[in-house]
A = this chain, B = another copy of it.
Amino acid sequence: MATDRIETEVCVVGAGYAGLTAARRLSVARRDVVVLEARDRVGGRVWTRHTSGGVPIDMGGTFFSPKHERALALAAEVGATVFPTNVVGDTVLATGGKVQRYATDKTPRINPLALASFGQAMARLDAMARRVPLDAPWDAPHAASWDATSAARWLSRRNVPTRGARDLMEATLRALFCCDLAEVSLLNVLFLLGAGGGLLPYMSIEGGYQHFQMRGGMQTVAERVAADLGDRVRLTSPVEAILQRDEAVDVVSPSVTVSARRVVVTIPPALAGHVRYDPPLPADKALLLHQLPAGTEVKAVVVYDEPFWRHDGLCGASVALDDEYEVTLDTTPPDSEAGVIALYAAGPKARRLAAMTPEGRRDTAVDTLVRRFGRAAASPVEVDQVNWVEQEWTRGCSMAHFGTGTLTQYGHELRRPVGRVHFAGTETATVSHGAIDGAVRSGERVADEVLADLGVPGPVSVP
């Protein structure tokens, strides 16, 4: 049972984008850093696997928006390059068993009343979202009322009169939170929209959240940042306890105990709650971490010899609210002959898929693609799939959500340090909350916080 013992200035828990960014920034500021990561890889909720033919496929976070400036800057720093998601060709919309296609710059031929109703609801949500202070959603003008209302309850006939519009809005929000909308507070929805610049960017490829992908896969950036940190990143070291002593904090994992002056916890909130703290966490902090579950997302990535849909004038994006996998996107890498499509299922639909056998899920994914893109979809080279809730060191995607009452009652604890222990992760982000860019920003914020705390005045300038 002999474990290594390391002394350092700052111990970072978690080698996702938040942890790696914090460690990098602290390193640049010449602080001694050790990163402890539970898995045998870096990247956290970003995870690039490879097909047997060597094609990189992203099983987790995949996209950047052009507005994800801090994440793009980090990628540029380590020489990673992005490419735009394909938008050439029509989008497929399947409703009631009928498959239609429409030009990406046109609106689909669905009930114009539903479209108008959806547009109105979106405008109303966006207007409310603009009134939510991103650093303190609990101070919004109607915070108490918005936080007492679930997103499902808000999505009533009164607020969104047309059935088709309600269905579309429900699917759109469900794709963001990956859970039933009864589980999410309206204030959380408004905060997320505010943090992302409105609802439209989340729904958009060009100019929106799905604009860019990473050459070599999104994990490339994490790997390069980790490579710069060298042996300061310790893999397969799940943190079990954080023990604050008079002069230092001991961070305990089975293989190594790190003694540090400050600790930065960047793992998902529910997992941060599983760590044993001594002294125990303050009451409200503990209660907050007891109520930040993430959603269920099942993702299937289907690889073909070539992106055959493009020859048919299709861009690879598709939506069908009747299917378990509601959305597909083209995630074909630019420097490969293969064609790659990712399918997404969120919330209750993902949980139904999760109850199937892997073969059943696989067949459902391929059948879905055949219905939307034709017979050529029936012969994939490879199908990969993941359920992020089953990942012990993540437990859900793409971010934790706030149930009713949580933000107003406990939100003030999100970023509050506890003694020498600081907290980061995309759930603590204001701008780009829930996105990779939010994780990066939270890493920058917490690094500056720790530097100030260690007596280094003001934020450091990072090249």
Contacts and interface: CB of A to CB of B under 8 A. Distances in A.
Contacts of A333: none
Given A152-B405, A153-B149, A389 B286 contact: yes
- In the A-B complex, the 9 residue pairs with the closest CB atoms: A182-B405, A183-B405, A403-B403, A283-B389, A290-B293, A148-B182, A148-B152, A280-B392, A270-B290
A179 interface: yes
A404 interface: yes
A399 to B, nearest CB: 13
Contacts of A148: 150, 152-153, 181-182
A276 B389 CA distance: 15
Nearest to A274: B274
Given A150-B148, A354-B283, A290 B395 contact: yes
Interface in A335-368: 348, 351, 354
A241 B179 CA distance: 29
9 contacts: A150-B405, A180-B408, A287-B396, A290-B290, A290-B292, A290-B294, A290-B395, A291-B403, A348-B409
A144 B354 CA distance: 21
Interface in A386-400: 387, 389-390, 392, 395-396
A372 B241 CA distance: 46
A147 interface: yes
Interface string A153-186: 1000000000000000000000000011111100
Interface of A: 1, 144, 147-150, 152-153, 179-184, 240, 270, 273-274, 276, 280, 282-284, 286-287, 290-294, 296, 348, 351, 354, 387, 389-390, 392, 395-396, 403-406, 408-409
A402 to B, nearest CB: 9
Contacts of A183: 291, 403-406, 409
Given A148-B153, A284-B351, A296-B283, A404 B291 contact: no
A270 B403 CA distance: 16
A56 B181 CA distance: 48
A181 B291 CA distance: 15
A1 B284 CA distance: 34
Contacts of A409: 179-180, 182-183, 348, 351
Contacts of A292: 290
A359 to B, nearest CB: 18
A181 B404 CA distance: 9
A148 B403 CA distance: 10
Given A274-B276, A283-B296, 9 more contacts: A148-B181, A150-B404, A152-B404, A183-B403, A273-B274, A280-B390, A283-B351, A286-B389, A403-B403
Contact of A408 (B182, B387, B389, B405): B182
A274 B149 CA distance: 29
Contacts of A144: 182
A414 to B, nearest CB: 15
A277 to B, nearest CB: 9
Nearest to A184: B405
Contacts of A1: 1
A291 B182 CA distance: 13
A147 B403 CA distance: 12
Nearest to A348: B409
Given A150-B405, A404-B403, A405-B403, A395 B182 contact: no
A443 to B, nearest CB: 23
A177 to B, nearest CB: 11
